Amino acid sequence: MANRLFAFLLACAAVLFQTIALLAFVGDGGPEIERVMEFFAWQIFAALSAAIWLLRLYAVGDRHASAWIFLHAFLVFMFLPVVGQLLLFGNLILVMTFPARDEPRETAFLQTPRYPSHPIPEGTFGTIARLRTQLSDTGVSEDERLAAMVAMRSLPLHLTGEILRRRLSDSSEEIRLLAYGIAEAAEKSLMQRIFTFKERLNQENNAVEQAELTSWLAELHWELVYQKLVHGPVLRYTVETAERYARESLAIDEDNMDMWCLLGRCALVRDEPHAAGHFFEQARARHFPEGRLLPWMAEAAFERRDYRRIAEFLSPLNEGPARPGVQPAMNYWK
């Protein structure tokens, strides 16, 4: 009730000050310059009253928006005396005719999510979550932690690489040795294949074979990155080497869609989402399987803050079974 009364008084004051200003301007007494100065003085009071009233009418919570509304209203009422009053009365009539509904908003309280100590989901991701928990839990016996490390050897290294890297600084020497052994075995296997393909490339003169060999070398270097076997400066060097071989392969066969996709993934590692988007579009134009490509295109769109295209890239994946790692993102952006 008090707010409505105050708003009504502001509106009345604005009308009163505006009337006094007009009477002072058209009056016959005194020099013209004095009448103009008196008009502007009363007009300022009228504009201030009307602007404050309009601001209370809209009740904007944002300070920045409130400042702009106040400034806009003050200028309108200040320099459009008659039109400003018409706007004032028009707003007043609209407010009285269509009052705002002051309905309480429904609220609910959610508990803070907690990471489950012993998750038991199905599939590879569930197994990795269980092993991660088992390895990081200090209350688990040494034998159980060793069993978890042995079980990790049968899982994809690109999913367990981060866990293995953390186990390299584990308090248990046996855990550290196992983690180092798993990572070293995978790295040696890849490096041996890289050396083999390099020797074949140095001896090959056929362009088609060279394109295939450079493509393999690009993939193998990317595999070192994908399996999280390289870090820091070595990671940057490996990415650059993978890109170099990919470009050499494309120089011979520009329709190699796998190399376009690989260049896009390397660009994401180097934090260049715009370049990544271009490479992914090139791969898409060459009919790279969309089930594998679209999640990467969505990630590139997210990195360059093109949020409207994320749903566009992920929506076609709803037509078929999605990978477990992609399904949560699809549910969020659809």
pLDDT digits (tens, 9 = 90+) for 256-314: 999 999 999 999 999 999 999 999 999 999 999 888 899 999 999 999 988 888 888 88
- The residue segments making up the domain with residue 258 are 185-333
Q: Which of 56, 77, 97 is the last residue of a domain?
A: 97
* Structural domain contains residue 174: no
* Structural domain contains residue 127: no
Q: Which residues contact 184 (CB under 8 A, 6 or more apart)?
A: none
Q: CA-CA distance, 240 to 264, in Å (whole number)?
A: 12
- Answer whether residue 113 shows pLDDT above 60: no
Long-range contacts of 168-172 (CB under 8 A, 24+ apart): 170/135, 172/142, 172/145
CATH number of the domain that 193 lies in? 1.25.40.10
Instruction: Kindly state whether residues 90 and 189 are assigned to the same domain.
Output: no
Instruction: Kindly state whether residues 221 and 317 are assigned to the same domain.
Output: yes
Instruction: Kindly state whether residues 328 and 192 are assigned to the same domain.
Output: yes
pLDDT for 58 equals 65
How does 18-49 read in b/e, with b if 16+ C-beta sit within 10 Å?
bebbbebbeeeeeeeeebeebbeebbebbbbb
* Structural domain contains residue 288: yes
Lookup result for tokens 């470009």? 247
Q: Which amino acid is located at 135 in the chain?
A: L
15 burial level (CB within 10 Å; 0-12, 13-18, 19+): middle
pLDDT > 90: what percent of the chain? 28
Q: What is the pLDDT of residues 170-200, one digit of tens each?
A: 777 887 887 778 888 888 889 999 999 999 9
Q: Which amino acid is located at 7 in the chain?
A: A
Distances (CA, A) of 237 to 60, 99, 126, 230: 54, 66, 33, 9
Instruction: Kindly state whether residues 190 and 88 are assigned to the same domain.
Output: no
Instruction: Kindly state whether residues 189 and 326 are assigned to the same domain.
Output: yes
Q: CA-CA distance, 126 to 145, in Å (whole number)?
A: 17
Q: Give the pair of three-digit tokens for residue 70.
A: 């106040």
- How many Cβ atoms sit within 10 Å of the Cβ of residue 149? 25
Q: What is the pLDDT of residues 302-314, one digit of tens each?
A: 999 888 888 888 8
**Is pTM beyond 0.85 here?**
no
Q: CA-CA distance, 240 to 225, in Å (whole number)?
A: 11
**Number of folded domains that form the chain:** 2
Beta-carbon-side half-sphere exposure of residue 11 (alpha carbons within 13 Å)? 18
* Structural domain contains residue 88: yes
Closest CA to 22 of 39, 44, 5: 39
Report CA torsion sign: 122, 128, 133, 135.
positive
CB of 266 closer than 8 Å to CB of 231: no
- Answer whether residue 123 shows pLDDT above 70: no
